[in-house]
Structure 1
Amino acid sequence: MKDLSGWTIAFDLDGTLVETAPDLIGTLNRLLALRGLPPRPVEAARHLVGHGATALLKDGFREAGANWDEAEQPALLAAFLEDYLARICDHSHVYPGVEAALDRLATRGAILCVATNKPTHLSLALFERLGLTDRFAAICGADAVSARKPDPAHIRETVLKAGGDPGRAVMVGDSITDVSAARATGVPVIVTTFGYTEIPAADLGGDALIDGFDVLEAAVDGIVAARLASPISPGYVPAS
């Protein structure tokens, strides 16, 4: 296998590395219960995850039959974040094969980082509980960069904070937000088929699809080989 030194693999978090829907929807359901509203089944509400806590609250309350009051948003968001942090890893878990795939890529010299719209302190708290923190050179929520995905600044700045080169980077994500951010940044993107997306993963326009982390390394190798075969591509920052 070829060395991956000089290459950076940037990952989304929710729906890409970690199955977080049960705990996010659990927090939503506890807030709904306080207002006498019916809970949302996890499988029926997975589509609510991945757009941020405020969107999760708004859409979750509406689907539970409640009128959304903008005046309540700050208090509800604060309550959501407090409850979620306290229960952040009750049921969340890494997807099968994540640790082994990360270790294989790191052994081959790849820099690993996380570019997520999840707030940095929540991302770090979750990774600490899951024992993943030390595997990444940088973990950047939207608050740690100048703009959130799909803005290209998120991926670019995360890769740079990790000590990588945006011209030799690959994004791994599960949603149109990740694909759009990667396209705007000019980096290829691998899409997971098991994440949180209302658009079928095959229709998101990724450079590769993976059904599990056992095939991530092969997908990275294919993208790197194609990139090296055509080193000057529109939108790419040439490696120094």
Structure 2
Amino acid sequence: MSLRDLDGWTVLFDLDGTLVDSAPDLVGTLNRLLVEEGLPPARPEAARTLIGSGARALLAHGFEAAGADVERARSDALFERFLVDYTAHIADGSRAFEGVVETLERLAERGAVLAVATNKRSDLSELLLDRLDLRRHFLAVAGPDRVSARKPSGAHLKEAVAMAGGDPARAIMVGDAAPDAEAARDADMPCVLTTFGYTPVPVDTLGGDVLIDAFEDVEEAIDGILAEFYVRRALKA
């Protein structure tokens, strides 16, 4: 029988750049729309750093890089075309990062409650998770439409924990970019940051409690955070 040493703890995960390498399909949709508009495709390595900022930021980047009218990129009609195309191709090339499934299974075996806290719309998040057979691991998927404030607000994380039936005082955020780190600070939660995500600035400048180079390192990072938590609690006793 597995040791249930994570009973009572909730682990929140960002989606894009943390659980899933979704850049191929997001950039693919961007480039199809640019070509339809008679513009050159964006360079994938430049566009992927903006994924955490949302589809509108991706569109603006693509138009700006092509020397086109950025105001056109901000139109609601183009945004809707982006969503339609992306929905149709949401899991063509997107894949869970190596070690995700095994790590999630081990955390659950140890008693952790798992949830997703993402700025990606909830229906798109659940569709992507379903297509990759990841949805089964999470008790809640909290996109910005299901909470009172999106990341970087700590309210997003606290409400995601509540949706999963957990306690925000015993929760850990795992993400890859500034909104994750800032939301964790705002919620007074420890934060683990990946170095393989989509942040446009160096991840070591974001103030995460632990940096990890591979998803398999999530479990060790959580163990370290919990050890520090219980030491502090013992010293206060």
**TM-score (structure 2 length as normaliser):** 0.95
User: Can you list the C-alpha shifts for 1:76-131, whole angstroms capped at 9, x where unaligned?
Assistant: 11000010000000000000000000000000000000000000000000001000
Task: Supply the RMSD in Å over aligned alpha carbons.
Answer: 1.4
| 1:229 alignment counterpart | 231
Any idea what SS the aligned residue of 2:115 has?
strand
Distance 1:166 1:39 in 2: 43
- Which residue does 1:238 correspond to in 2? none
Please give the secondary structure, in 2, of the residue aligned with 1:139.
Answer: strand
Give 3-state SS (helix, strand or coil) of 1:146's partner.
coil
Give the percent of matched residue pairs that are identical in Structure 1 and Structure 2: 55
Aligned to 1:67: 69
**Match for residue 128 of structure 2?**
126
Q: 1:3 to 1:204 in 2, by over 3 A?
A: same
Structure 2 CA distance for aligned equivalents of residues 38 and 12 of structure 1:
31
8 Å Cα contact 1:23-1:92 kept in structure 2: yes
- What amino acid does structure 2 have at the position aligned with 1:153? A
Alignment-derived partner of residue 237 in structure 1: none
Could you report, residue by residue, the CA deviation over 1:132-168 in whole angstroms, capped at 9, with x for unpaired residues? 1110010011011111000111000000000100000
Asked if the contact 1:4/1:110 (under 8 Å) is kept, the reply is yes
Match of 2:44 among 39, 42, 45: 42
- Which stretches in structure 1 are left out of the alignment for 5+ residues? 233-240
1:19 pairs with 11, 21, 24, which one? 21
Structure 2: stretches of 5+ with no match in the other structure: none
Q: How do residues 46-57 of structure 1 correspond to structure 2 at under 5 angstroms?
A: 46-57=48-59
Tell me how far apart the structure 1 counterparts of residues 204 and 57 of structure 2 sit (CA, whole Å): 24
Structure 1 runs (4+) greater than 2 angstroms displaced: none
Query: Is contact 1:11-1:172 (8 Å) kept?
Result: yes
Paired residues in the alignment total 232
